[in-house]
Structure 1
Amino acid sequence: MANQLTKPFKIPYYAASLLRSMTTSKRVQDRSQQKRVHALEIAVEKHKIASKILFLLELLKHEPEQIIPIRSLDQHRRQLNLPKPHKISDFIRKSPKLFEMYKDQRGTTWVGLTRQSEELIEEEERLITENDENALEHVTRLLMMSVEKILPLDKIAHFRRDLGLPYDFRKNWVHKYPDCFKVFKNEDDVEFLKLVSWNPSWSVTKNEKKVVGIEKGENHVPGMLALPFAMKFPPDYKKVYRYGGQIENFQKREYLSPYADAKGLKAGSVEFDKRAIAVMHEVLSFMNETRLVTDHLTHFRREFVMPQKLMRILLKHFGIFYVSERGKRFSVFLNEAYDGSELVEKCPLVVWKEKVVSLSGYRGRKKKILTFEDLDGFDDGDDLFESGSEDESAIRIDRDEEDTMSDEDEVIAQLSEMDVGEVQKAYEDT
């Protein structure tokens, strides 16, 4: 009996895994405050407001008379992310410079665009037209990065606003450039965009242009690169100095260009993962706001030859990327592109978007946010940019766009928190 009592108790593997999960598992939302970036969380809140305003502007724009009954908007609650019992009329009433409401003789309440909104819509259409060459280049770049040089049009539509594409790009725009790409349907009647001609100068990555200074590459052939990625760690994160050597080794490690053939790479290898970082860096770098909803990236894992656990890489490399978890959907930023909550370089379409938000009735809270704890004190039902009105019944907007998190996002939200050791694992020299 004594021997039995002193004999070490061996926990079965599956039980040990479960025990570790029970003792160390946290939601991504519980990540260390030292890894959060207060300024970029504010940028996410601004985007949430903008997405709702822009959705309503676009909806009204395509109505025959540019007006719609308020009750008809109820079917768009999911896109507006205004769950009941919040009233859509309250949301609209907060922005009288953009939307106007009136009742007809039957007592039906209608909402329409103000003259200022109509002018803004005209301005956006002009800016999108002027952005045509940039959109052409970036759509072509996406095709050039894809392993089969084809992409489903529905997936490209996820990037429409981020690329500055016109609303009806699938019907008209994609047919304007037959020398670059063409549309075809597969046996299931799904529309795809296929690359027609390779542009060597567009196979030079943004990082090559920035680090090496390559401007034109008429004869450029993409291959192995050994260029460092710009890193900006959270301001409160003090432990990264411990891993300076590992980070240096990571930066020196070669990787395959996002535009080179990646079919030979072995999934799970260090080279495979670093190329995935390069692909995500490249995709984010030519989006208007150098940020994306993460599931828009994860939807392209197969086409861009990226790992299944893409979110893990984004979270590990938080010196390059920043993942915000506020709301239903995660957002990923390219750190180097931001100074605080502001983009370092703003294209005309971003400036236009900021103008629209400035004309809405939503302003910063009167309470000054001094620390991240102040931001953390708001629950998901709050919004940093609620109306400046003193009306206590003012609605609060918190959910991002129309979809929920991707399957991987939901899994990541239940995984163990990435601790300091993950930095070492990510950058150790193998």
Structure 2
Amino acid sequence: MVNQIVKAEALMNKVYEADVFVFLPMRRKWYGEPLLGWLQSRCMTTSKRVQDRSKRKRVHDLEIVTEKWKIVSKVMGVMEVLKQEVEMVIPVRNLEQYRTRINLPKPYKISEFLLKSPKLFELYKDQRGVLWCGMTKEAEDLLEEQERLVEEHSDKAAEYVTRCLMMSTDKQLRMDKIAHFRRDFGLPMDFRTKWVHKYPELFRVVKSGDGEDYLKLVSWKPAWAITELEKKILGATEISVHEPGLLSLPFLLKFPPNYKKLVYRYGGKIEHFQKRSYLSPYADARGLTAGSLEFDKRAVAIMHELLSFTIDKRLVTDHLTHFRREFVMPQKLMRLLLKHAGIFYVSERGKRFSVFLTEAYEGQELIEKGPLVVWKENFLSLVGYRGKKKKIETFCDLADGEHENLIDNDSEKECISMQLECDEIMDDIENSLLVDNDAMEVGELGSACKDSDRS
């Protein structure tokens, strides 16, 4: 027994050094259960994760939107690979090396995935029996239309990239990080090699000491240092002389109907947050104290601004976390997104989470649709189908038996369709609670959701 106590005390010293229990009550008896099991259970129950949110508090419409664009993203990935080929055709087996880029995990078969969009992809065999993939005329026409729309959107995309540089601390961003926003901002595929050199008056590519390519701001644009929120609420337009500073504008809140009890319970904290002044995303924030209320509200403003730049008013949360240091945002970014459910909605579908700007949506539809959004909707209407498999043509008179086994008999059951995927386990966002009495905590939000479900 003495040895057990000594071991427990030694382990506790290490735990205290790691600050795991800074905010946890010390009320558990040490001898009733193994210490390691106690540690695991406590750490698990104190995690504040997206999955901890009540299923009834998920916004079904936005979850459906996530599923739609996940499929579109996969299909677009294949089309971009084909577009880079000389004849825009490729052996299906060669697509295996692009699984990560397409985001099509095993054991799903690429050939089966392609067969589900016969209006976009054509499969055929050559004389040696090798299966090839190409695009239909309809798909090629869609790509041409997209290129035209992206070109028309180019100046606006350049403005958004410039404004991102203006928000960054060093007025420069790594090129590979900007690449994460390529589709979201409507940038062309050749943005690294050609597009970035089209606007020398705005930005230029520089090499860092470690050999990395950075995009650096060339000149500050005062007219662009006005947030999208200022434009929307105040009707502010581009001003030639504008100095960003403190803002006191409330964010537009849009809670789902099933959040009424939660909003009623925490209305005071929400109102207090809305009234608090904060520093403009375009102002220098290096003097702010990390973890302060002003620091967190400015981070909310930055995320609001970034989402406003995107075509679909949504981003993969991973892409936001890449810019913590450059935009002076908190380490626990997911916690902040979850706390402000009236401004953002986090979808947990798949391995990568998505965050929506709630004010931009009405049900499943974007309120304001640009040309690229309309194009995506037309594209989506051609993705996927239900029914009999399309026959795979060949260049020679092959016997029917030679390609009967191309697809397994049970492949219909394995095909990828627009269905909700299994929830993936995400690492704990954090094990301690933020000390913030003026804003609603995620823990409070979760418990309120459960209370609401019971009533």
Q: Which TM class, normalised by the smaller chain length?
A: 0.7 to 0.9
Aligned to 1:411: 428
State the alpha-carbon separation in 1 of the partners of residues 447 and 362 from structure 2: 23
1:169 is paired with a residue of what secondary structure? coil
Aligned to 1:360: 383
Aligned to 2:338: 315
State the alpha-carbon separation in 2 of the partners of residues 22 and 33 from structure 1: 19
- 1:209 partnered with 2:226: no
Cα–Cα, structure 1 residues 67 and 133, in superposed 2: closer, same or farther, change >3 Å? Answer: same
- 1:65 partnered with 2:82: no
1:395 pairs with one of 410, 415, 432: 415
Paired residues of 1:327 and 1:399 also in contact (CA < 8 A)? no
Aligned to 1:218: 240
Matching residue's letter, 1:396: I
- 1:420 partnered with 2:440: no
Cα–Cα, structure 1 residues 25 and 188, in superposed 2: closer, same or farther, change >3 Å? Answer: closer
- Bigger radius of gyration: 2
Matching residue's letter, 1:21: C
- Structure 2 unaligned runs (5+)? 1-25, 387-409, 434-440, 449-455
- Structure 1 unaligned runs (5+)? 1-7, 364-389, 425-430
Paired residues of 2:120 and 2:138 also in contact (CA < 8 A)? yes
How large is the Cα RMSD of the aligned pairs? 2.7
Cα–Cα, structure 1 residues 262 and 9, in superposed 2: closer, same or farther, change >3 Å? Answer: closer
Runs of 4+ in 1 over 6 A off after TM superposition: 14-17, 413-417
Paired residues of 2:166 and 2:217 also in contact (CA < 8 A)? yes
Which 10-residue stretch deviates more, 412-421 or 273-282?
A: 412-421
1:182 is paired with a residue of what secondary structure? strand
Matching residue's letter, 1:115: K
1:229 pairs with one of 235, 245, 251: 251
Paired residues of 1:55 and 1:80 also in contact (CA < 8 A)? yes
State the alpha-carbon separation in 1 of the partners of residues 356 and 111 from structure 2: 33
Aligned to 1:40: 62
Paired residues of 1:284 and 1:292 also in contact (CA < 8 A)? yes
1:128 pairs with one of 137, 150, 153: 150
Q: How does 1:276-295 map to 2 (within 5 A)?
A: 276-295=299-318
The sequence identity of aligned pairs, in percent, is: 61
Q: How does 1:221-300 map to 2 (within 5 A)?
A: 221-237=243-259, 238-300=261-323
2:355 pairs with one of 332, 344, 357: 332
Matching residue's letter, 1:45: E
Q: Deviations over 1:329-365 (max 9, x none)?
A: 01000000011111111111111111111112247xx
Q: Deviations over 1:367-411 (max 9, x none)?
A: xxxxxxxxxxxxxxxxxxxxxxx98435125899xxxx9x9x633
User: How many residues are aligned here?
Assistant: 384
Cα–Cα, structure 1 residues 116 and 223, in superposed 2: closer, same or farther, change >3 Å? Answer: same
State the alpha-carbon separation in 2 of the partners of residues 134 and 415 from structure 1: 41
Matching residue's letter, 2:70: K
Deviation at 1:141, TM superposition (A): 0.5
Cα–Cα, structure 1 residues 224 and 25, in superposed 2: closer, same or farther, change >3 Å? Answer: closer
1:96 is paired with a residue of what secondary structure? coil
Paired residues of 2:46 and 2:431 also in contact (CA < 8 A)? no
Aligned to 1:163: 185
Q: Deviations over 1:209-264 (max 9, x none)?
A: 11111012211110000000011112212221122222111111000000001011
1:40 is paired with a residue of what secondary structure? helix
Q: Deviations over 1:291-318 (max 9, x none)?
A: 0000100000000000111110001111
Matching residue's letter, 1:41: E
Cα–Cα, structure 1 residues 391 and 23, in superposed 2: closer, same or farther, change >3 Å? Answer: closer
Aligned to 1:5: none
State the alpha-carbon separation in 1 of the partners of residues 430 and 143 from structure 2: 38
Matching residue's letter, 1:110: W
State the alpha-carbon separation in 2 of the partners of residues 276 and 27 from structure 1: 19
Matching residue's letter, 1:412: I
State the alpha-carbon separation in 2 of the partners of residues 63 and 235 from structure 1: 49
Q: How does 1:70-149 map to 2 (within 5 A)?
A: 70-149=92-171
State the alpha-carbon separation in 2 of the partners of residues 54 and 313 from structure 1: 31
Which 10-residue stretch deviates more, 95-104 or 232-241?
A: 232-241
2:170 is paired with a residue of what secondary structure? coil
State the alpha-carbon separation in 2 of the partners of residues 347 and 200 from structure 1: 25
Paired residues of 1:53 and 1:357 also in contact (CA < 8 A)? no
Paired residues of 1:128 and 1:164 also in contact (CA < 8 A)? yes
